[in-house]
Structure 1
Amino acid sequence: MLQVRNETPFSPSMFMFPDVRGMDTLYVVVKATFTFRKGRLFIAENQQPVVMADTFRGEPGQSSIRAASEAHLLKPGTDVLLEGEAHAPRGKPVASCPVLVRVGPVKQVIQVFGDRKWRGGVLSPGISSPEPFVKMPLVWERAYGGVHEVTKERVLGKASNPVGQGFCGKRGGSEMVGRALPNLEDPRQLIRSISDDPVPMGVGPVAPSWEPRKSYAGTYDEAWRTRRAPYLPLDFQAEFFQVAPAGMCARERLKGGEPVELINVSLEGVQRYTLPRCGLSVTVKIAGLFERPPLHLETVGLEPGSGRVCMTWRGAVGCDKRALKVEEARFQLLSLEGAED
Structure 2
Amino acid sequence: MKLVNYTPWPHLLFERRDTFDRPLGVLALQGTFAIDESAPLRALREQAPVQVGDVHRGDPATSSLKRAGATATFKPKSEIHVDAVAHAPTGKPRTSWPIRIRVGKLQQDLVVRGPHQWRHAPVLGWRKGAIEPCTEVPLHDELAFGGSHRIDGKLVEERRNPVGTGFLPRGIDTRDPIAAPQIVAVDEPLHLPGSRVAPRGCGPIPSYFAPRCDRIGTIDARWLAEKWPCVPEDFDYAHYQAAHPDLVYPGYLEGDEPIELVHLLPGGGSVLSALPDWRVWTLLRLGDGRMLRWPTQLDTVHFDLASPDPSEHRAYLTWRAVFPLSASLRRVESRMTRSDQRSRVEAA
Q: State the TM-score, normalized to the length of structure 2.
A: 0.88
Separation of aligned partners in 1, 2:216 and 2:166: 28
One-letter amino acid matched to 1:307: H
Can you list the C-alpha shifts for 1:135-162, whole angstroms capped at 9, x where unaligned?
Answer: 111010111111110022x211100000
Aligned positions of 1:153-302 closer than 5 A: 154-171=154-171, 175=174, 177-190=176-189, 192-267=191-266, 269-285=269-285, 287=287, 290-302=291-303
1:132 deviates by 1.5
- Which structure 1 residue ranges, 4+ long, deviate > 6 Å from structure 2? none
| Alignment check: 8 A CA contact 1:262 1:272 kept | yes
1:134 deviates by 1.4
Q: State the match for 1:150 in structure 2.
A: 151
Separation of aligned partners in 2, 1:230 and 1:160: 26
1:336 deviates by 6.2
Say which SS state the counterpart of residue 257 (structure 1) adopts: coil
One-letter amino acid matched to 1:101: I
Q: State the match for 2:304 in structure 1.
A: 303
Separation of aligned partners in 2, 1:335 and 1:301: 21
Distance 1:25 1:330, change over 3 A: same
| Alignment check: 8 A CA contact 1:76 1:251 kept | no
1:315 and 2:321 equivalent? yes
Separation of aligned partners in 1, 2:145 and 2:203: 14
Can you list the C-alpha shifts for 1:10-62, whole angstroms capped at 9, x where unaligned?
Answer: 21221111123321111112212221235223211232322212121111121
Q: State the match for 2:346 in structure 1.
A: none
Q: State the match for 2:129 in structure 1.
A: 128
One-letter amino acid matched to 2:204: P
Can you list the C-alpha shifts for 1:223-251, whole angstroms capped at 9, x where unaligned?
Answer: 21233222111111111010110110013
| Alignment check: 8 A CA contact 1:78 1:249 kept | yes
Separation of aligned partners in 2, 1:57 and 1:326: 41
Q: State the match for 2:343 in structure 1.
A: none
Q: State the match for 2:345 in structure 1.
A: none
1:263 deviates by 0.5
One-letter amino acid matched to 1:81: H
Separation of aligned partners in 2, 1:18 and 1:54: 21
1:78 deviates by 0.4
One-letter amino acid matched to 1:114: G
Q: Percent identity?
A: 27
Separation of aligned partners in 1, 2:295 and 2:15: 17
1:130 deviates by 1.3
- Mean Cα deviation higher: 237-246 or 276-285: 276-285
Q: State the match for 1:59 in structure 2.
A: 59
Distance 1:62 1:326, change over 3 A: farther
Separation of aligned partners in 2, 1:179 and 1:124: 13
Q: State the match for 2:102 in structure 1.
A: 102
1:285 deviates by 4.1
Separation of aligned partners in 2, 1:146 and 1:113: 18
| Alignment check: 8 A CA contact 2:106 2:250 kept | no
Separation of aligned partners in 1, 2:48 and 2:5: 15
Separation of aligned partners in 2, 1:49 and 1:191: 44
Separation of aligned partners in 2, 1:20 and 1:190: 44
- Mean Cα deviation higher: 132-141 or 114-123: 114-123
Superposition CA RMSD, Å: 2.1
Say which SS state the counterpart of residue 182 (structure 1) adopts: coil
Q: State the TM-score, normalized to the length of structure 1.
A: 0.90
Separation of aligned partners in 1, 2:50 and 2:183: 29
One-letter amino acid matched to 1:91: G
Separation of aligned partners in 2, 1:38 and 1:251: 26
Q: State the match for 2:309 in structure 1.
A: none
Say which SS state the counterpart of residue 321 (structure 2) adopts: strand
| Alignment check: 8 A CA contact 1:94 1:133 kept | yes
| Alignment check: 8 A CA contact 2:255 2:279 kept | no
1:191 deviates by 5.1
1:335 deviates by 2.3
Separation of aligned partners in 1, 2:103 and 2:21: 34
